Amino acid sequence: MSKKGVHVKVDEFKTDVGLFKNLELSIGRIVEEKWAEPMGPTPFPEITTLRDWDMKLLQRYKPFYLPFCDVCCLCTFGKCDLTGDKRGACGLNMAAQQSRIVLLACCIGAATHIAHARHLVEHLMEKYDRNTPLNVGGLNIDIEAPVTRLVCGIKAERLKDLEDALEYCEKQVTHLLSATHTGQEGSNLDFESKVLHAGMVDQVGMEIADLAQISVLGFPKADPEAPLTDLGFAAADVSKPTILVIGHNVPSSVGIIDYLTDKGLLGKVEVVGICCTAHDITRYSSMAKIVGPISWQLRYIRSGLADLIVVDEQCIRADALVEAQKVKAPVIASSPKNCLGLENRTENPSEQVISDLVEGKVPGALILNPDKVGEVAVETVLKVAPKRNKFSIIPKKEEIIKDAQECTECNECMRACPNNMPIPKAMKAAAKGDLNPLADILEDCIGCGRCDSACPNDFPLHSFIVKAGEEQLLKEKFKMRVGRGAIQDVEIRNVGGPIVLGEIPGVVALVGCANYPKGGKEVAEIAEEFAKRRFIVVTSGCAAMSMAMVKDEEGKTIYEKYPGAFDAGGILNVGSCVSNPHIAGAAIKIASIFAKRKLRANYEEIADYILNRVGAVGLAWGAMSQKAASIASGFWRLGVPVIVGPHGSKYRRMLLGRKDIDEDWYVYNARTGEKVYVGPTPEHLFTAAETKEEAMVLIAKLCMRPNDTSKGRAVKLTHYIDLHKRLYSVMPDDIHLYVRNQADIPITMKDEILKILEKKEWKEMGIPDPTLLPRLIRKTKGE
Amino acid sequence: MGVKEEPWQTAEIAGPKKALLILKPEVVAAMVKKAKRPLIVVGHLAAEDYSEDAKMIDYAIRMSNAAGIPVVATAHVVSEFIKRGFSSATHMPAMDIGDRLADSEWKGLDGNGPYDLALFMGLPYYMEFVILSGLKHFSTNLKTISLDRFYNPHASWSFPNLSIKDWKDNIEIIVNKLGGN
Ligand code: SF4
Ligand code: SF4
Ligand code: SF4
């Protein structure tokens, strides 16, 4: 059955044109399926199909709006002042406006992933074979695409089968986006429901992208021992001609590696990457290396180490071409979504393009054919590298000191800096020849370059900071395990029980961008803390890179210290942004493989299962993008809470539970139909933590679920209380909400906790078979 | 001393409704005295900024002790209160206290009813900015005061951007007027 497999068969059909016999018509693709499971209730859900589920979530996790802006300027009625209870000319109020902006962000994020998936699938079908079987883990994986199966109700077996799900996603995003038009949706909660829908289809889009590239390009297939790769400024031998790739969509980078391989040039040219393209190209080839996360762009380009830059799409600096020109490095743009104003040279003879780039006649070229990108990039870099001689615009120490003496301490740089870095003070020290305070800034600097733009003296402050920290930076080389892709079914079977019963205290997903409040080292610290505590730590994207960038006394990174298996104490990098659905997929597979819940188009039941039983939490410590917003919302709808760093407060809306309102925390006991209080588990669906300490305490707390066994709850409480005491120096003040009976109390803390319970007039509560869905209540005979 | 309604982080512009400038610290003391149910919300930077002899947390403690104002310590800063022998701070994430303050039905930390004045200090500038915005738009009957040394435009009242010395002079006056020493 297909989502729109309209199939008409008529024996005889008479029209003005004539008589047709035995006519068979197919509108849309008919997916032939070998999936015995009967179709569930919600195949290819439309934008209101899961609205009831959303409202259940939103009733408990109410939006707290944090308007970044007091006005709306979306149409020519505006600007409208929406302060307080005012309404705009269209009748919209502030709450609806905020939720509309969140929806816009999530539509942008989802559209980006879905378009990425569309491009990948079409490219791979054209270049390889439409019938390539989908394979993410060979015999180790039976459920190849848990999200797509759950949402769409289809089992895709070949590359071409993904197109139905893609079309579905595209349609949904169009509908969702249309709801943001003036005079469409008026209710903030309905906007929020649509936000959740955007997140859900985003997960499908991402899953398709990763499924396609893993299957066709031979990435690691659910491999806990995926190879270690090098990361950092010193990861590659930059004395060789060096190509830097930036972005997320890997075909052009693959084109480069393939060309090098075909021409026997591997080892003669270095290929290094920034952001998710770096993840994916290291999944493709061990020849590629990683520079670092998104925030490493300016420092690397300005250092002049890259002789040629290839950009594809997403999270690429809009001034990449401008910066590249300063260091005389040609740029190849390779995505229709990011043409950078360059002339389209796709149809020109390669020699002509290469010669124009080498001679500097043009700063760059747009080439929309990945194989051609490979050829042009490699041939150009071989000729450009000796001419450039690693030309850098990082200033000399003396130049910095001289400029620093002209600094007026006007504070404009600091006031432009998202992290309020004390640049004026550092400049004062630099004026006296001490560059250490500038070097200290590098660690917490997110590389945005806003300080440069702000300085009335036009000092290239980011370059000053890079120079000050250069000695250390140029030596840096870390080991990171490349993206392993999916989680094996057997891994799920092994840990499903312990997770659902609460004995593995939780699954923590450290994901997202690099907009950190205090540098990437905090991500490494959080990851290690929870791996040591025997949580399962999963990671992807820039966070996966940041956590590699810290070494212990023996010089080892966490990827060398902890196994890459989906098991207690493991740290697993699933891959790039589009690999995130493997994390959602693991939660879905726990419900499906371990608990044998029906998977096919059965979204609500599986989400209800995850919300009530699977202690999984996401932390996007440096979440920046609209994609991060939609990724998070995909997790919310599935019942997985997400924490963001303090900059994430600028997403304008949290989804917060109120532990002080008892009525909010009742579920049905599926065994009896009774409504029972289960405590605030999990307390929030989306919140921003102010510090890493708060994030760690929240992670431990948000892993608690109504279904935990007493043994499991005691383990979870131990971690929560232990972290709270260590980081806050006090006991948590809400333990009484999480202890259901005496067996839940961690043995070592029994006396202390009993005293607290007594003071709070605590009463014992039962442990139900929890659900929010009345239809899952198992009625006994005669009822 | 700058006296402009200019946000510290250049692009964090708000309005049309913006915080009124606190030009005379005595006014803050008077507002606190007049308030029926004031509250101080203290973020983690209170223990880090601004200098050894001008830490926000110490002023928060003095204000609380002088005027009997309850303190909510966000993130992990409660440990710093304890270190200083101040044990009555309630700890709560910044988002949680923001959310509760926006709810006119909330009965407060002690169950005695909603607050009418919330004083903020020590949160990251941009986080305080959006939380104050949430309160400006969605709370009823709550006034907010930003006591950091930066103009935070979504508050009801805020200091302008101040030097550490000027901030210290101002906050000393507030504490003294409240009866602290
Ligand atoms: S969309 Fe509505 S609120 Fe926004 S500018 Fe137009 S009329 Fe005003
Ligand atoms: S480049 Fe670094 S120091 Fe400069 S404004 Fe951005 S984060 Fe701050
Ligand atoms: S903006 Fe420029 S002149 Fe002003 S303090 Fe910063 S470095 Fe100095």
In tens, the pLDDT along A506-543 reads 999 999 999 999 999 999 999 999 999 999 999 999 99
Q: Residues of A at the B interface (Cβ-Cβ below 8 Å)?
A: 62, 64-71, 81-84, 94-95, 412, 415-416, 418, 420, 454, 517, 646-647, 649-650, 652, 654, 656, 658, 660, 687-691, 693-694, 697-698, 727-730, 733
pLDDT tens digits along A97-107:
999 999 999 99
Q: Is the pLDDT of residue A362 over 80?
A: yes
Residues in B touching A730 (Cβ below 8 Å): 78-79, 82, 91
Top mutation candidate among A402, A411, A438 for ligand 3, by most atoms within 8 Å of CB = A411
Q: Number of helices and strands (H, E) in chain B?
A: 6, 9
Q: Any idea what the Cα angle at residue B128 is, between residues A636 and B155, rounded to 5°?
A: 125
- Residue A723, pLDDT above cutoff 90: yes
Q: Are A522 and A621 in contact (CB under 8 A)?
A: yes
**Could you tell me the pLDDT band of residue A9, with boundaries at 50, 70 and 90?**
very low
Check pocket membership of A187 for ligand 3, CB cut-off 6 A.
Answer: no
Long-range own/partner contacts, residues B91-94 (CB < 8 A, 24 or more apart): B91/A728, B91/A730, B91/A733, B93/A687, B93/A689, B93/A690, B93/A694, B93/A698, B94/A688, B94/A690, B94/B41, B94/B43, B94/B123, B94/B127, B94/B131
Task: Quick: pLDDT tens for A374-389.
Answer: 999 999 999 999 999 9
Which-ligand-closest: CA of A182?
1
Mean pLDDT score across all residues of chain B: 96
Instruction: Give dist(CA A109, CA A105) in Å, integer.
Output: 6
What separation in Å is there between the alpha carbon of A85 and the centre of ligand 1? 15
Evaluate: CB of A408 within 6 angstroms of ligand 3: yes
Average pLDDT over chain A reads 95
Contacts of B100 in chain A (CB under 8 A): 658, 660
Mean pLDDT of A150-169: 97
Q: What is the pLDDT of residues A187-246, one digit of tens each?
A: 999 999 999 999 999 999 999 999 999 999 999 999 999 999 999 999 999 999 999 999
Using pLDDT thresholds of 50, 70 and 90, give the confidence band for residue A11.
low
pLDDT at A600 over 80: yes
- The C-alpha R_g of chain A, in whole angstroms, comes to 27
Contact B74 A690 (CB under 8 A): yes
List the domains of chain A with CATH numbers.
Answer: 1-32 (no CATH), 35-217 (1.10.8.190), 233-388 (3.40.50.2030), 397-459 (no CATH)
Residue B12, pLDDT > 50, answer yes
> What pLDDT score was predicted for residue A7?
42
Distance to chain B for A541, nearest Cα, Å: 25
Look at residue A2 and tell me whether its pLDDT is greater than 80.
no
Give the predicted TM-score (pTM) of the model: 0.96
Decide: A436 in ligand 3 pocket, CB within 6 A.
no
A687 neighbourhood in chain B, CB within 8 Å: 93, 95-96
Evaluate if residue A313 carries a pLDDT over 60: yes
Cα–Cα distances (Å) from B93 to A547, A688, A694, A756, B73, in that order, read: 25, 9, 7, 21, 8
Distance from C-alpha of A93 to C-alpha of A109, rounded to nearest angstrom: 24
Q: Is the pLDDT of residue A8 over 70?
A: no
Chain A residue with minimum CA distance to B89: A730
User: What is the predicted pLDDT for the residue at A139?
Assistant: 86
CB-closest option in B17, B74, B95 to A70: B17
**pLDDT band at residue A34 using 50, 70 and 90 as cut-offs:** confident
- pLDDT band of residue A695 (cuts 50, 70, 90) is very high
A446 within ligand 2 shell (Cβ under 6 A): yes
CATH topology for B21-177 is Rossmann fold (3.40.50)
Token output for A628 = 């991060």
- Find the residue in B nearest to A724 (Cα): B76
| Three-state secondary-structure class, residue A270 | strand
A vs B: CB pairs below 8 A? 121
Instruction: Please check the confidence at residue B2 and state whether its pLDDT lies above 50.
Output: no
A502 pLDDT band (50/70/90 cuts)?
confident
Q: Per-residue pLDDT for A471 more than 60?
A: yes
- Lowest-pLDDT range of A16-25, A331-340, A350-359: A16-25
Interface test with B, best of A61, A64, A99 (most B CBs within 10 A): A64
> Closest Cα of chain A to B29: distance in Å?
26
Measured from the Cα of A451, ligand 3's closest atom is 1
Considering chain A, what percentage of its residues have pLDDT values greater than 90? Answer: 93
Q: How many whole angstroms from B43 Cα to the centroid of ligand 3?
A: 28
Mean pLDDT, residues A285-306: 97
Q: Is the pLDDT of residue A70 over 70?
A: yes
- Each residue of A611-623: pLDDT tens digit? 999 999 999 999 9
CA A502 to chain centre: 26
Tell me what ipTM this predicted complex has. 0.98
Distance A452 CA to ligand 3 centre (A): 9
Please list every residue in chain B whose beta carbon sits closer than 8 Å to the beta carbon of residue A68: 130, 133
Ligand approaching nearest to the C-alpha of A413: 3
Q: What pLDDT is attached to residue A780?
A: 58
Domain ranges of chain B: 21-177
> Which of A451, A463, A464 to mutate to test ligand 2, by most ligand atoms within 8 A of the CB atom?
A451
Q: Which residues of A443-453 are buried (b: 16+ CB within 10 A; e: fewer)?
A: ebbbbbbbbbe
